[in-house]
Amino acid sequence: MNTFKELVKSRRSIRSYLGRRIDPEKLELCAEAALYSPSACNSQPWKFIIVNDNSAKEKMRSSVFSGLYNMNSFASNAAAYIVLISKKTKLPASIAGYLMRTDFRQIDLGIACSNIVLQAEDLGIGSCILGWFDQRAARRILNIPRLVNIDLIIALGYTDQGPSSERRLKDRDETVSYDRY
Ligand SMILES: Cc1cc2nc3c(=O)[nH]c(=O)nc-3n(C[C@H](O)[C@H](O)[C@H](O)COP(=O)(O)O)c2cc1C
């Protein structure tokens, strides 16, 4: 079994997928990992859409990652997707967020996103978080109302290849300090 440290370090963005399907139970585990995430005031300001139906996936493949969004065309080969949508947060979280100049909803979504990709990694499933995709096409395919914004899409799939690039971390002095800025 992986330690948490090993799990965190082994997760990389995977951009090449095998055709193998992902068991629905495993996708459900990924969603569950998201649902157990912490959120400001326990607002749980989210909705996760698991896209695993062949016809929906086919429609996503042909329109959501093409044209202007072609740099993510690799995602067309993913076995499944999880679409992350942020929803209204509780009033105290939204007031606190305003006063702190922090959008807690986005933070909540980011934590949930991290839980999903780590759960996927633990199940041996590769993933890539996508912030660049055809928002309107995805909304149309998934019946998402016009005013609802999709924050992220996670592409998921088994792989027999490693990540496409070396991991490059910023200098540690730049990113971590003790007891002062
Ligand atoms: C909010 C967010 C948006 C991202 N959007 C994309 C994307 O549109 N396309 C892509 O290929 N990778 C995307 N990534 C993946 C990053 O490029 C990747 O996490 C980063 O380069 C670090 O590499 P690693 O995930 O392999 O550690 C995104 C990651 C995050 C967190």
What's the rounded Cα separation, in Å, for the pair 146 and 170?
A: 39
Ligand 1 pocket, Cβ-based, cut-off 6 angstroms: 12-13, 15, 72, 128-132, 152, 163, 167
At which residue do the structure tokens 């890539």 appear?
128
Q: What domains, with CATH codes, occur in the chain?
A: 11-159 (3.40.109.10)
CA of 155 to the centre of ligand 1 (A): 11
CA of 113 to the centre of ligand 1 (A): 12
Global confidence as pTM: 0.97
> Are 157 and 125 contacting, i.e. CB atoms less than 8 angstroms apart?
yes
Neighbours of 128 (CB within 10 A): 22
Q: Is the pLDDT of residue 1 over 70?
A: no
Confidence bin at 164 (pLDDT 50/70/90):
confident
* pLDDT, tens only, 65-101: 999 999 999 999 999 999 999 999 999 999 999 999 9
Q: Whose CA is nearest to atom 18 of ligand 1?
A: 13
> Are 85 and 138 contacting, i.e. CB atoms less than 8 angstroms apart?
no
Give bridge partners of residue 13 from the DSSP assignment.
Answer: 127
